[in-house]
């Protein structure tokens, strides 16, 4: 084992030790607060995702209605143009 390997191993150990020490001294209630905050953020994200999905569905339905209305409008315009062209002949 070279000196560099030993140094990187000890730095990793120190970092892990600091993280463990930070949570070791915290009471369970504080650790639970961190966990509940994470769960709350996940729940908010899930709710926002559902809102976005429902908005996309409404937009798709609106766009579909618009396309259908335009198609109906275009068909009637085409029909009247064809009738007037046939009458001229």
Q: What is the pLDDT of residues 63-88, one digit of tens each?
A: 888 888 776 655 555 555 555 555 55
User: Rounded to 5 degrees, what are φ and ψ at 26?
Assistant: -80, 140
SS3 annotation, 30-51? HHHHHHHHHHHHHHHHHHHHHH
Name the pTM for this structure: 0.38
Domain boundaries, the chain: 11-84
If one counts every other C-beta atom within 10 angstroms of the C-beta of residue 26, the result is 13
Q: Is the predicted pLDDT of residue 49 greater than 90, yes or no?
A: yes
Name every residue whose Cβ is closer than 8 Å to that of residue 31 and which is 6 or more positions away in sequence: 23
45/35: higher pLDDT: 45
């Amino acid at each position: 084992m070279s000196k560099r390997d030993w140094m990187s191993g000890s730095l990793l150990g120190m970092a892990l030790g600091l993280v463990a020490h930070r949570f070791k001294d915290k009471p369970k209630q504080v650790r639970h607060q961190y966990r509940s905050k994470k769960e709350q953020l996940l729940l908010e994200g899930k709710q926002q995702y559902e809102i976005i999905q429902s908005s996309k569905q409404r937009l798709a339905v609106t766009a579909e209605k618009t396309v259908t209305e335009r198609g109906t409008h275009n068909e009637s315009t085409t029909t009247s143009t064809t009738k007037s062209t046939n009458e001229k002949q």
